[in-house]
Amino acid sequence: MTEIVRLLDTDGTVLEHERYALPEPERLLELYRGLVLGRRFNEQANSLVRQGRLAVYPSSRGQEACQIGAAAALRGGDWLFPTYRDTVAVVQRGVPPVEALTLLTGDWHCGYDPLAHRIAPQATPLATQLPHAVGVGHAARLRGEDTVVLALCGDGATSEGDFHEALNFAAVFTSPVVFLVQNNKYAISVPLSRQTAAESLADKGIGYGMPAVLVDGNDPAAVTAVLDEAVARAASGAGPTLVEADTYRLEAHTNADDAGRYRSELEVAEWTERDPLPRLRAYLRGTGLLGAARETELEEAAEEFASLVRQGVSAMAAPRPGALFAEVYGTPTQRLATQAALLDTELRAGAGTR
């Protein structure tokens, strides 16, 4: 059974670890800032759903340590392969919030330029992004770059064939890929016990011949330390690592889901006690790194950020119907040109003209 890596206890006490050191104070403060803004982003996105501005939002509340830790571990040229749940990581890595939310406002399938940000489009079909991550990593090696690819997925996604294929390929090709599984205990309603009979998802690393680490996914310090090491290992040419983060989805799968149907209030309450934010805050306060002035400043920054998100989403221009026909093929087809012309004629005639 794999030992869990934890550097901060739930009350913020430092736990000595023989292998992983606590990140530097400045880094911890940066992480904390990310957590506060990330939490505020999740809350803001939820209210945008309630106002009908987002079609749907899969919240990462409770998983912010993984989101922020993932973004923090990457260097400028590295790649991130996120899922629908990882909008906070995408934003933390530098994508403007409106571009990150374009998928969920229903304006387009992906609102940012993946090449510019080195972030793949957020993947909805489960585990399908993982083999792509291996391909990007392998190309980097062929091109002599030291690029590392961090690929995210959930516990449920580890049951898909693509998960197995990606990990196996990465190990066989010694690809510079870090697989971060956010084990938040559920795939919609289905608990982890229905996904695997293994004691932990990290145990699967052995079968692929790849090192695997089980980390407390609600300990921002531990997540970052573990990912730092895995990224360094990949960058050095030593190959992939599987990281399982033990975490919890504090909210329903999405706003469309009713989590009360399959899990207890008690369980949610227990995990609320292990919330990553208060944990790091307690440590930072205890050591004097976080004073009242800094806290106020962070709160203000979070509010400013939320209002930027709100305003950005409100200001989004309606998508152009003609965009439907663009970029389906690199070379436009006559058939699509005809269809675009039909729609254009209809729109000029106006709706309800019959």
Partner 1 sequence: MSAEKLTMAAAINTALRDAMRADDSVLVFGEDVGPLGGVFRVTEGLTDSFGAARCFDTPLAESGILGMAIGLAMNGMHPVVEMQFDAFAYPAFEQITSHLAKMRNRTRGALHLPVVVRVPYAGGIGGVEHHCDSSESYYAHTPGLTVLAPATSADAYGLLRAAIEYPDPVIFLEPKKRYFASEEADIREPVAPIGTAELRRAGRDATLITYGPSVPVALAAAEQAAAEGRELGVLDLRSLVPLDEQTIAEAVRASGRAVVIAETPGFASVAAELAALIGERCFHHLEAPVRRVTGFDIPYPPPKLERHHLPSIDRILDAVDELQWEHA
Stretch that binds partner 1, among 89-97, 211-219, 233-241, 322-330 (CB under 8 A): 322-330
Task: Give the Cα separation of 311 and 156 in Å (integer).
Answer: 35
* Closer of 7 and 181 to ligand TPP (Cβ): 181
Is residue 57 annotated as part of the catalytic site, yes or no?
Answer: no
* Closer of 124 and 287 to partner 1 (Cβ): 124
Task: Give the Cα separation of 112 and 118 in Å (integer).
Answer: 10
Stretch that binds Mg ion, among 98-106, 150-158, 227-235, 306-314 (CB under 5 A): 150-158
Stretch that binds ligand TPP, among 73-81, 185-193, 216-224, 339-347 (CB under 6 A): 185-193
CB of 130 to ligand TPP, least distance (A): 11
Contact residue for partner 1 among 131, 156, 205, 276 (CB under 8 A): 156
DSSP-derived pairing of the beta strands 177-183 and 241-246: parallel
> Which residues, 61 to 120, sit near ligand TPP by CB under 6 A?
85
Name the binder of 351 from partner 1, Mg ion, ligand TPP, none, CB < 5-8 A by kind.
partner 1
Contact residue for partner 1 among 206, 323, 337, 341 (CB under 8 A): 323
Q: How far is CA 130 from CA 15, 146, 189, 298, 343, in A?
A: 33, 19, 23, 35, 37
> Which residues, 119 to 158, sit near ligand TPP by CB under 6 A?
124-126, 153-157
Stretch that binds partner 1, among 102-110, 139-147, 211-219, 291-299 (CB under 8 A): 102-110
* Closer of 52 and 144 to partner 1 (Cβ): 52
Residue 151 identity: A
List 61, 93, 249, 274, catalytic entry: 249
Is residue 249 annotated as part of the catalytic site, yes or no?
Answer: yes
Please check whether residue 297 is in contact with residue 33, taking contact to mean a CB–CB distance below 8 angstroms.
no
CB of 75 to Mg ion, least distance (A): 28
For residue 55, state whether it binds partner 1 (rule: CB under 8 A): yes
CA angle 92, 97, 102 (to 5 degrees): 125
283 Cβ contact list (under 8 Å, min separation 6):
8, 12, 13, 14, 28, 221
List 27, 141, 233, 262, catalytic entry: 262
For residue 83, state whether it binds Mg ion (rule: CB under 5 A): no
For residue 186, state whether it binds ligand TPP (rule: CB under 6 A): yes
List 6, 253, 274, 281, catalytic entry: 253
Residue 230 identity: A
Q: Which two tokens stand for residue 237?
A: 């040419």
* Closer of 67 and 184 to Mg ion (Cβ): 184
Closest CA to 177 of 215, 231, 226, 220: 231
> Which residues, 203 to 242, sit near partner 1 by CB under 8 A?
none
CB of 253 to Mg ion, least distance (A): 8
Closest CA to 193 of 156, 162, 245: 156
Name the binder of 85 from Mg ion, partner 1, ligand TPP, none, CB < 5-8 A by kind.
ligand TPP
* Closer of 38 and 156 to partner 1 (Cβ): 156
Which residues are the active-site residues?
A: 249, 253, 262
Q: Which residues bind to partner 1, rule: CB under 8 A?
A: 55-56, 103-109, 124-126, 156-157, 159-162, 187-190, 194-196, 256-257, 261-262, 318-319, 321, 323-325, 328, 333, 335-336, 339, 343, 346-347, 351-354
